[in-house]
Structure 1
Amino acid sequence: MNRKKSIAHKLLDAIGLFEIHKLIAKHINQHHADIVVDYDLSLLRSAHLIGAPKIGFFHFRPKRFRNGGTNKLRRIGERLKHYQKLVVLCDEMYEEACFVWPHLKDKLLVLPNPVDLDSLLKKSACSIDFPENLTPGEYFVSVARLTHQKNIHLLLRSFAKARELGCKWSLAIIGDGEDRVDLLDLSKKLGLEEAVYFLGYQTNPHPYLAKAGGFVMSSREEGFPVSLLEGMALGCPIISLACPTGPTDILQNGKLGKLISFTEDNPDELGLAMFEISNNAALRKNYAEESKLFSQNFSSQKIAHQLMSLLRDIASNQRP
């Protein structure tokens, strides 16, 4: 925080970080690791000092990585050259990373985040204090932080549009954040007080997903939204904006759910999709069945097998 105040603080911060990263690399090298797995790229500044082969994971959009501008992304690209492999979570992220850092294309590969399906099913079966007026199978659910990125303002306006078209369902919003007060005010202005339930943060939102008639995501951007996969695994039909990155790949270009043209402020198409889902039981059933099958591709066992194969491949290529 202080480095924003003066050049002296920036200099002190830079020197301190340099020494810290040297110390980190020193300790890692002392362990003589076969492979270093940098699961959040926190070793980016230490990578050139670490002797073992390294694999790094991206969990965010490459274009927005560490809020970098053109010059910052270029510097990051130079540091990424010290990794043997770089994992992105979906095809969209791969294409974006290749565009930002074309010199890293041979290092990039796609390996999605896993979903613990067995644990998910157990959590979804837990008993909860379900709101009396929330009818199972006849409500939409959103699971998201109440922040600018998640754009719940658009979701509320879209839900109001769906109600205008004749949708009788309710909307349950699970999550908390700095936008909560504004969203409560907007809900009142739209006349949705009796149809929208702000349920706050829930340690286990999965029973709500399992009982919902549809899961709606209105984000401005994502990395790889596992919440969509969790909803699909529980047989909850999905409606999502085609924001960068993740939803287009997860929904297979709209084959497995309603994929809406990306917008930050137009509620019409999203609202129409919500109305259509609420009035088409056959479509909901089709999405639910196909989504459950597709979600098996992201089971912990399958992703773990792919990761182990990757690690063995890296290790074998390092042998003399």
Structure 2
Amino acid sequence: MRSPSPLRALFVINSLAGGGAERVFTTLVEQLSRRPDEIAITVALLDNEAEEAYRLPAGVQVERLNARGSLLRSIRETRRLVRRLRPDVTLSFLSRANVATIVAMRRTGGPAVISERVNTTAHLRTGRLAFLSRLLIRNTYPTARHVIAVSEGVARTLESDFAVEPARISVIYNPVDTARIRALAEQEPAIPVTPADFVTMGRLVDNKNTAMAIRALAQTQNGGNLIVLGEGPLRDDLAALAASLGVADRVRFAGFLANPHAVLVRAGCYLLTSHAEGFPNAMMEAMAVGLPVVATDCPSGPAEILEVHLDGGEPAYGHGGALVAMDDHAAMARCMAELTGPRRADFSEAAARRAAAFSVESAVERFRGALMDAAREVAS
């Protein structure tokens, strides 16, 4: 008896230039491409970036569409690709790729499964095209076959603000490859780091609010440095802020590191200062190597990970770290002192245990199930 043909799946993302969503996307492709008899994957990269932070498996077909950041080009090129490949199902990551793929699949009637990686309302609160972006999402996301939210907070926002039916949404937390992360952590760090140091990681943009970490550092007395991992347009402004607060010699801008885990494991505490997150990958990777965290109570993710909620303005201590109100750098400074003090070992152990609950195997299996279910619904 002839075995059934593998599911033809088109995976779409803006690019692999770097970031948490790109890392998760690459992990999914790596894991699911090991089952070629079940799923045949083609990857579409909307933008043809000169440099890519992540590598896809050698046997996976890659289509580079060169949309150059344009939504209209992304839609046009994705339509052409879908018309040529006729995939059984699509999986897309990030808002532009999601919108483009949903529109492209309308022509074929095939199922589009999308993954929302940010708290959509918070992420699109401001900006020149924010209103138009929200309107596009409201008019496309509800028609996707299935929407995978990266946290409960993201899921509730999609329901309340973008009219996505709850029955179409499932929550799949980002996978944390703890074995890989811990192996990388054993390597020598690219820069000096001590247990008195604090680390924050991400693009230097308004949403990441790295200024809060610098202000908190200025109120600490432990003598440690703040190591800032990442690049972005606000680097000069942040350096000027550190100088104005008298901590220029304690803030080290290390840029993008290929292996940040070797730095994280040797530091004293991790700081997440964002105004909005979908699911903070960097925070989870810090916890995976046993690094306690102080995180803002931003929408959404940190409170779910630490399993704690703020009650009033005081910090709350949870599983692996502390939660503070957004922009409350004084509270962050107090928690930084607490987490690098005598109780640090307890918080470190709790952080590692919590990270272990977000396994790669569980996340990959749930994504696989979502794709298979979507394809079956159309076929039946």
TM over 0.5: yes
SS at match of 1:138: coil
Instruction: Write out per-residue CA displacement over residues 151-186 of structure 1, whole angstroms, 9 at most, x where no aligned residue.
Output: 1211111111122xxx23322222222222222222
**Structure with greater proportional strand content:** 2
> Is 1:92 aligned with 2:150?
no
Give the stretch that moved more between structures: 145-154 or 36-45: 36-45
Aligned to 1:13: none
> Is the CA contact (8 Å cut-off) linking 2:82 and 2:104 kept in structure 1?
no
CA deviation digits over 1:240-268, x for unaligned, max 9? 1111121111221242234333323x421
Query: 1:73 offset after TM fit, Å?
Result: 2.9
Residue 46 of structure 1 aligns to a residue whose secondary structure is: helix
Query: Which protein is bigger by CA-based radius of gyration?
Result: 1
Q: How does 1:251-270 map to 2 (within 5 A)?
A: 251-253=306-308, 254-264=317-327, 266-270=328-332
- Residue matched to 2:180: 119
CA contact (8 A) 2:274 2:296 kept: yes
Counterparts of 1:210 and 1:234, CA distance in 2: 5
- Amino acid of the structure 1 residue aligned with 2:229: I
Query: Contact 2:142–2:162 (CA<8 Å) still a contact in 1?
Result: no
Q: Is 1:215 the equivalent of 2:270?
A: yes
Residue type at the aligned position of 2:143: H
Residue of structure 2 in register with 1:271 after alignment: 333
Aligned residue runs from structure 1 range 171-182, under 5 A? 171-182=226-237
Q: Unmatched 5+ residue regions in structure 2?
A: 1-69, 309-316
- Counting matched residue pairs gives 296
Q: In 2, are the aligned partners of 1:174 and 1:200 still within 8 Å (CA)?
A: yes
Worse overlay, 186-195 or 217-226: 186-195
User: Shift in Å at residue 216 of structure 1?
Assistant: 0.7
Counterpart among 347, 358, 369 of residue 298 in structure 1: 358
- 1:107 aligns with 168
With over 3 angstroms needed to count, the CA separation of the structure-2 counterparts of 1:50 and 1:296, relative to structure 1, is: farther
TM-score, length of structure 2 as denominator length: 0.71
- Structure 1: runs of 5+ lacking an equivalent: 1-15
| Deviation, structure 1 residue 194 | 3.5
Query: Greater RCO between the two (CA within 8 Å, min separation 6)?
Result: 1
2:286 alignment partner AA: G
In the alignment, what sits opposite 1:9? none
The answer to whether the 8 Å contact 2:89/2:375 transfers is: yes
Are 1:162 and 2:220 an aligned pair? yes
CA shift for structure 1 position 109: 1.1
By how many angstroms is 1:317 displaced? 2.4
2:324 partner amino acid: S
Contact 1:223 1:246 survives alignment (8 Å): yes
Q: Which SS does the other structure have where 1:106 is aligned?
A: helix
Instruction: State the partner residue of 2:103.
Output: 45
- Residues 73 and 127 of structure 1: is their aligned pair in 2 closer, same or farther, counting only changes over 3 Å? same
Is the 8 Å Cα contact of residues 105 and 111 (structure 2) preserved in structure 1?
no
Structure 1 CA distance for aligned equivalents of residues 81 and 111 of structure 2: 15
Conserved 8 A contact 1:85-1:108: yes
Q: Which residue of 1 aligns with 2:4?
A: none
> Of 309, 312, 320, which residue of structure 1 is paired with 2:369?
309
Question: Would you say the 8 A contact 2:269–2:294 is kept in 1?
Answer: yes
Name the structure where helix makes up a greater proportion of residues. 1
The alignment partner of 2:249 has SS state of coil
* Aligned AA (2:358): F
Offset at residue 274 of structure 1 (A): 1.0
Deviations for 1:186-207, whole angstroms, at most 9, x for unmatched residues?
2222222333322222121111
Does structure 1 retain, via aligned residues, the 8 Å contact 2:231–2:256? yes
Matched, 1:145 2:200: no
Identity of paired residues, percent?
Answer: 22
Question: Quick one: distance in 1 between partners of 2:339 and 2:184?
Answer: 25
- In 1, are the aligned partners of 2:137 and 2:162 still within 8 Å (CA)? no
Distance across 2 between alignment mates of 1:22 and 1:128: 44
2:249 maps to which of 182, 189, 194: 194
Alpha-carbon distance change, 31 to 178 in structure 1, aligned in 2, over 3 angstroms:
closer
TM-score (norm 1): 0.83
Whether contact under 8 Å (1:239, 1:274) holds in the other structure is yes
For 1:116, give the aligned amino acid: D
Amino acid at match of 1:296: A
Aligned residues of 2:141 and 2:164 also touching (Cα < 8 A): no
User: 2:118 is paired with a residue of what secondary structure?
Assistant: coil
More moved, 91-100 vs 290-299: 290-299
Change (3 A) 1:143 1:214: same
Counting only pairs closer than 5 Å after superposition, residues 277-292 of structure 1 correspond to structure 2 as: 277-279=339-341, 281-282=342-343, 284-292=344-352
Do the aligned residues in 2 keep the contact of 1:242 with 1:259 (CA within 8 Å)? no
Give the Cα–Cα distance (whole angstroms) in 1 for the partners of residues 307 and 239 of structure 2: 34
Kept in 1, the 8 Å contact 2:297–2:325? The answer is yes
Give distance in 1, aligned partners of 2:149 and 2:225. 36
